[in-house]
Amino acid sequence: MSKLSITDLNLKGKKVLLRVDFNVPMKDGQITDDNRIVEALPTIKYVLKEGGKAIVFSHLGRIKTEEDKAKETLLPVSKKLEELLGQKVVFVPVTRGKELEDAIASLKDGEILMFENTRFEDVPGKKESGNDPELGAYWASLGDVFVNDAFGTAHRAHASNVGISSHIEKSAAGFLMEKELKYIGEAVDNPVRPFIAILGGAKVSDKIGVIENLLKKADKVLIGGGMAYTFYKAEGLEIGTSICEEDKLDLAKELIEKGKDKLVLPIDNVVAKAFDNDSESKVVKATEIPSDMMGLDVGPETLKLYADSLKGAKTVVWNGPVGVFELPSFAKGTKTLCEMLANLEGAVTIIGGGDSASAAISMGYKEKFTHISTGGGASLEYLEGKVLPGVAALTDK
């Protein structure tokens, strides 16, 4: 990578500003999935081992009103980090000012603090997400060097990534950032072939650029999930009450023409009358969806087709579930695909974040994949071939 790495920095005695992505799912104040915290531990531990003073910060959720702040505090996250590190984490419940500055000044080498949710600065005035130059300059003034390990926000130009990078001498990538760029970048730019891409999720519009880019680069692009029904309709098939983006039919038609045999659509589907786990379901061919039913999962023949397409694959990138995996009755397609990829021998298997990452982790396959990305939106834009602002802002080697 042509950007500065954390290992290129001398951290001893330095105040190290460390942007992480601890935007973790919470329920009733409890973290339900700590994967993003766990993935950042190597970078944090390295800073502490090298004698740096770690100043850790992240966003959490979206802050639109003062009332949002109470439920989006990073305090529970700092406690979880303390538990995982086995070391005290000083939590500072503000994003700027004397309390924060004094806490940083009193840090000793090898100690760590976390300050409050960067998005608290969005009320009023979107200072964080609008990349306010004064805020970026202020946060930069708190440290000596900046390490960005938050791949999950690298596709956004915020004060806490691009803003700080613009106002500090050295900005480097942390280990997680490097890992994300290595696996996803190499998969798209220099894959060992055959290279198979699997794209699911509800909307074609979310993945237009990704499909176009991967049709140029992959040997096959397998389609699943709700977006398949927009492709069906573009082909003139009956889709019943299935989800469909009417304004994307011409585009779907173009992608079918461009993709030809490379673009693989489901050949059968699990359909039901309602978006409900208890709704009676049946398997039908793609050409036989009843007018009063909706497609909610891929069928067994499609899973066989996927298995045939994956035979001998050396690089596989998967983004988006192929059915409504949150409902057990319609999770079989995604679960079976997960099993297929987890047991694919001799292949580099990469999950591009988001719901497919949640599905793989919740189904117990985390250790079976070469890499599970921590960034849904960032992964998609990287797969699309876009330059990520948070990466572009890092210091060149």
119 included as an active-site residue? no
User: Token match 């189904």: residue?
Assistant: 363
Query: Which candidate in 110, 130, 377, 385 is catalytic?
Result: 377
* Catalytic-role residue among 3, 14, 19, 36: 36
Which pLDDT tens digits describe the chain residue by residue (397 residues)?
589 999 999 999 999 999 999 999 988 889 998 989 999 999 999 999 999 999 999 999 999 999 999 899 999 999 999 999 999 999 999 999 999 999 999 999 999 999 999 999 999 999 999 999 999 999 999 999 999 999 999 999 999 999 999 999 999 999 999 999 999 988 888 999 999 999 999 888 889 899 999 999 999 999 999 999 999 999 999 999 999 999 999 999 999 999 999 999 999 999 999 999 999 999 999 999 999 999 999 999 999 999 999 999 999 999 999 999 999 999 999 999 999 999 999 999 999 877 888 888 888 888 999 999 988 889 989 999 899 999 999 999 9
pLDDT at residue number 310:
97
Answer for the pair 315, 187: CB distance below 8 angstroms, yes or no. Answer: yes
What is the fold of 6-177?
Rossmann fold (3.40.50)
State CA 276 to chain mean position distance: 27
In angstroms, how far is the first alpha carbon of the chain from the final one? 9
Task: Please name every residue paired with 264 in a beta bridge, in sequence order, or none if there are none.
Answer: 222
Exposure b/e, 47-71, CB count within 10 A at least 16 = b: bbebebbbbbbbbbbebeeeebeee
| Given the residues 354, 375, 376, 390, the one annotated as active site | 354
Residue 357 has a pLDDT of 87
354 in active site:
yes
**Catalytic member of 69, 79, 203, 273:** 203
Separation CA 54–CA 104 (nearest Å): 9
Contacts of 38 (CB under 8 A, 6+ apart): 84
Its pTM stands at 0.89
CATH architecture, range 191-383: 3-Layer(aba) Sandwich (3.40)
Return residue ranges of the chain for CATH 3.40.50.1260.
6-177, 191-383
What SS3 string covers 39-104?
Answer: HHHHHHHHHHHCCCEEEEECCCCCCCCHHHHHHCCCHHHHHHHHHHHCCCEEEECCCCCHHHHHHH
pLDDT value of position 247: 95
Q: What is the pLDDT of residue 1?
A: 59
